[in-house]
Amino acid sequence: MAKDKSSVPHEIVAIKVKQWLDEWNKMKFKPEEHRRRPDPYFYMFTLTASYLKALTGIYRRERRTGLHPSKDTGIQRRHERERSEEIRNLHDMVSLGQR
């Protein structure tokens, strides 16, 4: 199972990096053609591998014995609503550095 998340930090320090180029203002962005306007910035931060594993819920899965691999879907992760919500709210965990 996934590592206990109570032992991992609840805040991530990140740097907000401007990525917007002035020439992008001349572009026509059409979301319906999968060419949406990019965000003007992105966040840069580091995570330890152990924290990333705990956050993502990665763990070794074992197949049920006796089933043909094409019939055994148990190796796939089941949907975890709580985990999905935590990932959606990751932005709230980020403490932005000034740059």
Give percent of the chain with pLDDT exceeding 70: 62
pTM of the model: 0.46
Q: Alpha helix (H) ranges present in 12-94?
A: 49-56, 81-88, 90-93
Q: Which two tokens stand for residue 5?
A: 């998340």
Average the pLDDT over each of 11-15, 25-29, 53-57, 63-67 and give the range with the smallest value: 63-67
Cα dihedral 94/18/40/35 (nearest 10): -110
Residues in contact with 52: Cβ distance below 8 Å, sequence separation at least 6, in sequence order = 58
